[in-house]
Amino acid sequence: MRSQLLSAHPVRTALGASIVAGVALWFSRGAMDVVGGVETGARVAMLPSWPELAGLVVLLLVICVAGALKRPHARSGVVAERTLSWDSTRADALRPLYALALLLVPYLPWLPDRVPAVRILAGPGRWWLWAVAIGQVIWILASRIGWKFQLDRRIASFAIFGVSLAVYASTWAQVSQTGFFPGGDEPHYLVITQSLLRDHDFKIENNHERGDYAEYFPSRLRPDYRARGRNGEIYSIHPVGLPILAAPAYALGGYRAVVWFLMGVAATTDALLWLWTLTLTGSGAAATFAWAA
């Protein structure tokens, strides 16, 4: 039986994906912090040892290569050769692992200083990227090998909601410990909510004078307004729609309840987006990709 020549394409794909995944896992096991301020401080990274890097790369090499190899099946009356061959389908399914190279971006010399948002890939965002990459590998394998799924839209949409809520909650658990939240316009919206609940109006001057914001904001907070109204009262420049929606949650559990309410709204939006994309395209893969993106 003539042996089949190995294609260099699946070899490069499997080896490259395993090396990228191994290095990405090494960075994922590290930690980064900013010393001296978010915008002007210096980044300090604490990474595992070099032997661990080598071990992780070898481990991922073994896993990816083992997944990309296949044994030839013996046909009736023919003895199969005891050799391994590359499965192009399985090797190509490893391509999403190349996206894990993005986990190296927060450790580059100057880009994370110019674009601080990329630092999230050194925090909770790294596990989100891992989940998306591995999920895509599984999905590609399922579609190309021929696995059949009986997709229940209701169960799948609840799963999308649960995963989204878990991601938002884990991210909030991380950033809430930094001392920067609530920040920006967030406390001003919460003051409007307090005024609505306690005074049944949108006049915020007395709420600031009483220091109602001390329940969630440790520093002094000045009213955010441009000019007093015709009646001499101070009204916030921020829209009142969100405070009205958040009022029941704040009445039940304060600031934390409002955060959970907003995360629930965001997770519900994700589930509805997934359902809408599935209905529009008829493809579960397209809907899942749109949700993950």
For the cut 50, the answer to whether the pLDDT of residue 200 exceeds it is yes
Task: Find the DSSP H helices in the chain.
Answer: 8-28, 50-68, 88-92, 111-114, 125-145, 153-175, 186-198, 205-210, 241-281, 284-292
Q: Are 46 and 26 in contact (CB under 8 A)?
A: no
Q: Region 20-45: what's the mean pLDDT?
A: 80
Nearest CA to 100 among 14, 46, 10, 27?
Answer: 27
- In sign, the C-alpha dihedral spanning 103, 106, 112, 115 is positive
Helix (H, G, I), strand (E, B) or coil at 103: helix
Which amino acid, 3? S
Question: CA end-to-end span of the chain, whole Å?
Answer: 47
Greatest mean pLDDT range, 32-36, 89-93, 245-249: 245-249
Asked if the model's pLDDT at residue 141 lies above 70, the reply is yes
| Average pLDDT value for residue range 63-71 | 73
Residue 218 near residue 187 (C-beta atoms within 8 A):
no
10 Å Cβ neighbour count for 24?
25
Domain ranges of the chain: 8-133, 149-293
Cα separation, 48 vs 89, in Å, equals: 34
Q: How far apart are CA 139 and CA 147, in angstroms?
A: 10
- Mean pLDDT check: name the lowest of 50-54, 144-148, 195-199, 253-257: 144-148
Q: Does 124 or 203 have the greater pLDDT score?
A: 203
| pLDDT over 70 percentage in the chain | 86
Residue 48 clears pLDDT 80, i.e. is over it: yes
CB 265 within 8 A of CB 242: no
